[in-house]
Amino acid sequence: MCIDFYFMKIALKEAFIAFYKNEIPIGAVITYQNIVIAKSHNLTETLCDITAHAEMLVLNLASNYLKKKYIKKCTLYVTLEPCVMCAGALFWSQIGRVVCGASNPSKRGFIYSGTKLHPQTEFVSGIMKNQCQALIQKFFFYKRIHKKKKKFI
């Protein structure tokens, strides 16, 4: 849907913010009635907290905003397929829809690991896949170069 691209673009902007903070560039947005009620990006390094993934942060923000534990009528837009932890959290939240950009080729992607979302959750994948993937690849490319440079100094 056209609207999915619109919201994924906002999530991608968040991922860019993470990139410039030297965080793994993943961004997420939660919408309710087609209005953004939460947006954030990966902050694991900044907060020194392995649970501070973009999805966890926006789930928390959305629950706070709606004053509800279960956010059945909301949609999550995230630039990378959620990990097992985030998929577990999405299950508890009973979120209505999850739209993701790039798929996660590592073993920690929730699809590979066999983790399931809530039966009521609709799942869509591949929205702006190339842009989302390119940003992550760029991040790790620079990381590798930086490591190699360190070796030679």
Residue 12 contacts by C-beta under 8 Å, 6 or more apart in sequence? 27, 79, 101, 128, 131, 132, 135
Q: Is 140 exposed, middle or buried (0-12, 13-18, 19+ CB in 10 A)?
A: exposed
Q: Please state, in angstroms and rounded to a whole number, the distance separating the CA atoms of residues 131 and 16.
A: 11
Q: How many residues of this chain interact with its own copies, rule: CB under 8 A?
A: 30
Annotated ligand binding at 74? The verdict is no
Nearer Cβ to its own copies, position 39 or 118? 118
Binding mask 66-95 for its own copies (x = CB under 8 A): -xxxx------------xxxxxxx-xxx--
Q: Please state, in angstroms and rounded to a whole number, the distance separating the CA atoms of residues 101 and 131.
A: 8
Binding mask 95-114 for its own copies (x = CB under 8 A): -------------x----xx
Q: Which residues contact its own copies by CB under 8 A?
A: 44-45, 48-51, 56, 59-60, 63-64, 67-70, 83-89, 91-93, 108, 113-116
User: Residues comprising the binding site?
Assistant: 53, 83, 86
